[in-house]
């Protein structure tokens, strides 16, 4: 069977919301055409939608490397890297809130801030990266930077529940700023 036929089966599976089957069809297509950047790209998208971030990143990287002139592939790869960095940083911030070791906490939050700064650069449309960056800044006592991150997130497309959370976070930061000495 040709790769094109496997791709048709993959798309049909996606249409039928059978993402597991779609992944298998993409894998079959990749066996036939392992250097096809477009198959890697589409496989990566399906992996990402199926919460298989590591595999999604691997195939996005391959698509971007195989067809470096395709900006769409690079943007997808950057977006996935941003998501991975945000997840890593989120874990550091959450562990910080459960820890009693002040020095380790500071190092963890500083690491999270660096990861989130990079994540926001890789995906400027990531509200999640901006919100977690604001939370890291709050933990570091950098309230003006936190407010800036919330304002940046507020400019991005969002639904009503996110808008409400951003407003609450903004009010929380403003309260910190009002209480801190100038």
Task: Supply the pLDDT for residue 55.
Answer: 97
Q: Which residues of 96-122 are buried (b: 16+ CB within 10 A; e: fewer)?
A: beeeeeeeebeebbebbbebbbbbbeb
Query: What pLDDT sits at residue 158?
Result: 76
pLDDT in tens, 7-18: 999 999 999 999
pLDDT tens by residue, 35-80: 999 999 999 999 999 999 999 999 999 999 999 999 999 999 999 9
pLDDT, position 161: 78
Asked whether the predicted pLDDT for residue 106 surpasses 90, the reply is no
> Which pTM does this prediction carry?
0.85
Residues of CATH 1.25.40.10 domain(s) within the chain?
Answer: 3-69, 83-179
CA angle at 21 for the pair 48 and 64, rounded to the nearest 5°: 35
Give the per-residue pLDDT at 6: 95
More confident residue, 167 or 131: 131
Query: b/e map of 75-92 (b: 16 or more CB within 10 Å)?
Result: ebbbbbbbbbbbeebbeb
Has domain 3-69 been given CATH number 1.10.3210.10? no
Q: Which CATH architecture has domain 83-179?
A: Alpha Horseshoe (1.25)
Please indicate whether residue 135 or residue 102 has the higher confidence score (pLDDT). Answer: 135
Task: Find tokens 């690491």 and name the residue.
Answer: 111
């Amino acid at each position: 069977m040709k790769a094109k036929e496997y791709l048709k089966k993959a798309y049909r599976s996606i249409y039928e919301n059978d993402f597991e089957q779609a992944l298998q069809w993409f894998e079959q297509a990749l066996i036939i055409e392992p250097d096809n950047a477009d198959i890697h790209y589409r496989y990566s998208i399906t992996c990402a939608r199926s919460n298989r971030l590591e595999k999604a990143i691997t195939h996005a990287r391959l698509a971007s490397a195989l067809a470096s002139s395709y900006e769409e592939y690079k943007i997808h790869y950057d977006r996935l890297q941003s998501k991975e960095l945000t997840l890593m940083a989120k874990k550091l911030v959450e562990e910080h809130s459960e820890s009693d070791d002040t020095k380790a906490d500071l190092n963890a939050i500083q690491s999270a801030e660096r990861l989130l700064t990079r994540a926001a650069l890789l995906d400027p449309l990531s509200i999640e990266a901006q919100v977690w960056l604001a939370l890291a800044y709050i933990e570091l006592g950098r309230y003006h930077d936190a407010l800036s991150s919330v304002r940046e997130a507020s400019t991005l497309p969002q639904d009503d529940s996110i808008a409400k959370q951003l407003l609450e976070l903004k009010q929380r930061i403003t309260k910190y700023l009002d209480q801190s000495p100038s």
